[in-house]
Chains A and B, each alone.
Chain A
Amino acid sequence: MEEIILKTEGLKAFYVLDVYGKQKTVKAVNDVDLAIRENEIYGIAGESGCGKTTLLKTLAAAMEPPLRIVDGRVCYHIAGADVDVSTLSQEEIRRLRLEYIAYVPQGSMSVLNPVARIKDTYRDFIESHISTQQRDEAFLLAKEHIVELGLPPKILDAYPHQLSGGMRQRVTIALATLLKPRIIIGDEPTTALDVVVQRGVVQLLKDVQRKLQNTIILVTHDMGVHANIADRIGIMYAGKIVEEGSTDKIFGDPEHPYTQYLINSLPKFGDKTPRESVPGSPPSLANLPPGCPFHPRCPHVKEICKQEMPGFTQVESNHKVACWLVGEGEHGKAA
């Protein structure tokens, strides 16, 4: 088995808010154990608002108040040793962003400075990350990289607002993969791209991954993209990973009722029969139902579901599910 490059243990990351003097806790990442392997593409899918972006922020050590880790830990595996991210200084984290982890956040506009030309954004990025001698080289590399992504070097002279949504997204991706990181974390990196350009970007991400033998953690709502490139997929619901398996398993034989709804809601060409979405509405992460958080919407709900959260059942070596329907009587936490 490949080495683990990034893991979380019992990770809880909450938004702790003060609303009119009353404390409110949004449990966006609620007891997540992940073990991401070297050289894999790990996909994360799940309901809008279930905590995917929050999870990625904690993985990338890019948290800001009111978000904070209340329990558990995030570990990077660097040079043969596990490093608990919470023990690192701000400066060390800044350096890690250069050599270890690249984070492409959701919503590309937020990264590009609206009042600076693209080349100035690049220059700022390069200057803050690269030693003086290598800067010219880095700028050339940046240009090359841009061309590889199918973008004209001319866009370096443009302001973000002059570019279409698709173009901005690609510029952001170019910027983030410039420094050959070990882990690329992408939050909806191909959202808002047409399918041809999306395919080109995914192709590029895959090429980069093959060349650098690195790891990609990819959040996207486009299940077609997951089916195309992910090796494994984690399905997230209400702050928890509820199912994890090989891409084939998740698409071909999903076992968690939420995953089943998700897969069944995908429309297919040549088939216009009405498709349903998950019934009911998503739970409030500030006020979670007891037991399995999916129980108020689940068609198979049993008495125990309302009382206790099921642990993981390892249904196969590469497939685990947290649901009382699956693997009865063996709900210890699977590793």
Chain B
Amino acid sequence: MSNKEPVIFTIGWNACINCGACVAICPQEAGFISAFDTIAVDRPCDIACLLCEDICPVSTISHSPANLTSFAR
């Protein structure tokens, strides 16, 4: 599963309906969750299966390669 490059997810909050489906499908370890009960958006996902993007009823999750994203703000 994890031979993919780590990604960081971005959620378009305007469309998110807080349905929790992304968390339900996520194979990550416990706690890979944002403050808004979606998958985490503040740290890289090393599994990168992207199932959360598939399950989202309003397609509001996207990703970019983690190594291109700066966490230092």
Are these two chains actual partners, yes or no?
Answer: no
